[in-house]
């Protein structure tokens, strides 16, 4: 009997010890986490809950940890360790010094593949090198540059015509929507050789654009959702939306490819001059048996150029208008520089506003745009604070150590963060959060900085091929618009980013547009 009565006592003691041990461990763990500068790291789930809770403010959440004094920190998610850095030495090591150890990686490719396929921004190894070499040749082509300049000018004039009408109504307009239309029309003309008419004065609905944005957000969410593959299998939630959106995008893209193939075949048979758009040039390159370009290959190539040529440029232009609205002094300096271009030109005083705009636009050649130093600085300052690609993850092929001593494990991700880097006082001074184009100028001349400090366009072997083209379109557009119009932000309209691969605005940027007197 005594033996039997001792059993419950022993079991209770064991349970008590287990509970006490668990509580002690929990208290110790909580104490450590309370004093942890990086995101809290829970057993099994890591920082998943905190990450998803801050998904809509992802970039500022990450920034908050850098502002605690960190230059590099870790974020643990199930099956993955993410390392974030703003240290220029680390950025240079990843993008240049040991470039081969930091590809896009399997995680990035798997998450983005549904939208970007195996295009240049989602490819590694031989596939990337081959596409990079081909694209480098095309972007260096004077034919493409001259063709792009004409397209950018024509579409900027369409935007100006729309704003001229809006300025008479005193009704607000969403400039992001207008810029997305501008860049979509431009990239579809430069990239596909087709007119899709989104800048028609009636501003028609654009299913391709809406679905492309939805797909962009959905693939970005995959990086932080450990259950996305299950959701894809079950076709639920964001994965269901992604599937529907990509179908719309693909239907449009494949239809254009098939149409362009047929047109080129007819043109070749008639001995006519080939088209200058990228798709036509890639189709012709694909006629080489060694290239083996299928329609899927072309689809991936073009959609990668769209996300680079549409979303990035439109988001920068939108933030530019937002910043001008908050900094009227900068807007006046931009106008003064643009107005100087007319000093040796005899404008006809009897011209209508639209006729004046067309005449002014004719002055804006590629070489003239290069001379606009303050405008270039104002756009670059916009990119510093609101980089089109706010963070860029890279895979890790082998264990490594960053210059600051941070240990990287094979299979994880290391991410450099332009959004945070642009706001670091250690890099840009105590006025890092201020919009001040003058920081880029010395005696009125634009002075670039290291691409590893200002990493919005990457650096090293993967430095952005479309950088010059993007500046060309942004300067062409802003030169025409800022010369003839003022932008006043609509009071109370919320301006915040939407967490995607690019830094688009959640609700756009609404402004009242007025004409400049002269």
- Which domain CATH number covers 230? 1.10.630.10
Pick from 242, 315, 220: nearest CA to 506? 315
Domain contains 369? yes
Q: What is the DSSP letter of 450?
A: -
Cα four-point dihedral sign 349, 175, 418, 188:
negative
Domain contains 71? no
State the Cα–Cα distance between residues 288 and 290, nearest whole angstrom.
5
Could you identify the residue written with the tokens 């529907």? 244
Domain contains 69? no
Q: Does the structure show a pLDDT above 60 at 9?
A: no
Which has more pLDDT, 292 or 368? Answer: 368
Contact 387, 456 (CB under 8 A): yes
CA distances from 504 to 27, 225, 500 (A): 42, 21, 7
Q: Which residues pair with 407 in a beta bridge?
A: 401
Contact 66, 420 (CB under 8 A): yes
Q: Is 464 labelled as part of a ligand binding site?
A: yes
CA distances from 240 to 101, 116, 417 (A): 34, 17, 30
State the Cα–Cα distance between residues 196 and 186, nearest whole angstrom.
9
Cα four-point dihedral sign 340, 345, 351, 352:
negative
Task: Name the percent of the chain lying above pLDDT 70.
Answer: 94
Highest-pLDDT range among 37-41, 58-62, 105-109: 58-62
Domain contains 367? yes
Q: Does the structure show a pLDDT above 70 at 5?
A: no
State the Cα–Cα distance between residues 328 and 333, nearest whole angstrom.
9
Highest-pLDDT range among 113-127, 235-249, 299-313: 235-249
Domain contains 333? yes
Can you give the length of the chain in residues?
Answer: 518
Domain contains 72? no
Q: Could you tell me the pLDDT band of residue 324, with boundaries at 50, 70 and 90?
A: very high
Domain contains 240? yes
Q: Does the structure show a pLDDT above 50 at 3?
A: no
State the Cα–Cα distance between residues 193 and 270, nearest whole angstrom.
19
Question: Residue 196 is part of which domain span?
Answer: 125-387+434-515
**In angstroms, how far apart are the furthest CA atoms of the chain?**
116
CA 186 to chain CA mean position, Å: 17
Instruction: Report the number of secondary-structure helices (H) and strands (E) in the chain.
Output: 21, 11
Of 121-125, 314-318, 336-340, the one with minimum mean pLDDT is: 121-125
Contact 515, 167 (CB under 8 A): yes
**What pLDDT was estimated at residue 4?**
46
* Rg (the chain; Cα; Å): 26
Contact 37, 69 (CB under 8 A): yes
Strand ranges inside 213-355, DSSP E: none
Which has more pLDDT, 70 or 127? Answer: 70
Q: Could you tell me the pLDDT band of residue 1, with boundaries at 50, 70 and 90?
A: very low
CA 19 to chain CA mean position, Å: 50
Q: Which residues pair with 487 in a beta bridge?
A: 513
Domain contains 306? yes
State the Cα–Cα distance between residues 188 and 7, nearest whole angstrom.
79
Counted domains in the chain: 1
């Amino acid at each position: 009997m005594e033996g039997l009565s001792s059993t419950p006592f022993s079991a209770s003691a064991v349970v008590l010890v287990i509970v006490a041990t668990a509580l002690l461990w929990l208290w110790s763990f909580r104490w450590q986490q309370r004093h942890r500068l990086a995101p809290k790291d829970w057993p099994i789930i890591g920082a998943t809950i905190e990450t998803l809770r801050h998904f809509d403010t992802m970039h500022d959440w990450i920034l908050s940890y850098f502002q605690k004094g960190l230059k590099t920190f870790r974020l643990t998610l199930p099956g993955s360790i993410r390392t974030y850095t703003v240290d220029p030495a680390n950025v240079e090591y990843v993008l240049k010094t040991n470039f081969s150890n930091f590809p896009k990686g399997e995680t990035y490719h798997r998450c983005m593949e549904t939208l970007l396929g195996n295009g240049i921004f989602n490819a590694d190894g031989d596939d990337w090198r081959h596409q990079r070499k081909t694209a480098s040749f095309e972007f260096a082509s004077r034919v493409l540059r001259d063709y792009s300049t004409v397209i950018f000018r024509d579409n900027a004039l369409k935007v100006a015509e729309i704003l001229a009408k809006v300025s008479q109504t005193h009704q607000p307009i969403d400039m992001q929507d207008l810029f997305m239309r501008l860049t979509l029309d431009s990239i579809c003309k430069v990239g596909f050789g087709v007119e899709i008419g989104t800048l028609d004065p009636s501003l028609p609905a654009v299913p391709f654009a809406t679905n492309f944005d939805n797909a962009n957000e959905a693939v970005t969410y995959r990086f932080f959702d450990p259950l996305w593959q299950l959701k894809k299998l079950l076709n639920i939630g964001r994965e269901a939306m992604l599937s529907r959106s990509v179908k719309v995008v693909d239907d449009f893209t494949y239809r254009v490819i098939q149409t362009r193939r047929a047109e080129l075949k007819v043109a070749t048979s008639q001995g006519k001059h080939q088209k200058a758009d990228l798709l036509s040039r890639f189709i012709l390159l694909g006629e080489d048996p060694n290239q083996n370009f299928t329609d899927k290959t072309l689809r991936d190539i073009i959609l990668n150029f769209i996300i680079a040529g549409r979303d990035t440029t439109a988001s920068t232009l939108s933030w530019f208008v937002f910043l001008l609205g908050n900094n009227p002094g900068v807007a006046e300096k931009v106008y003064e520089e643009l107005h100087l271009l007319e000093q040796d030109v005899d404008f006809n005083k009897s011209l209508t506003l639209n006729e004046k705009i067309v005449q002014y636009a004719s002055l804006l050649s590629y070489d003239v745009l290069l001379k606009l130093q303050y405008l270039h600085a104002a756009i670059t300052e916009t990119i510093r604070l609101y980089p089109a690609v706010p963070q860029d993850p890279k895979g890790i092929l082998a264990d490594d150590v960053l210059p600051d001593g941070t240990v990287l494990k094979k299979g994880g991700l290391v991410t450099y963060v332009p959004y945070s880097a642009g706001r670091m006082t250690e890099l840009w001074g105590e006025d890092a959060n201020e919009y001040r184009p003058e920081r880029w100028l010395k005696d009125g001349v634009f002075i670039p900085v290291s691409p590893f400090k200002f990493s919005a366009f990457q650096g090293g072997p993967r430095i952005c091929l479309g950088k010059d083209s993007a500046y060309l379109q942004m300067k062409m557009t802003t030169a025409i618009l800022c010369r003839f119009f003022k932008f006043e932000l609509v009071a109370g309209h919320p301006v915040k980013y939407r967490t995607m691969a690019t830094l688009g605005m959640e609700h756009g940027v609404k402004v009242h547009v007025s004409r400049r007197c002269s």
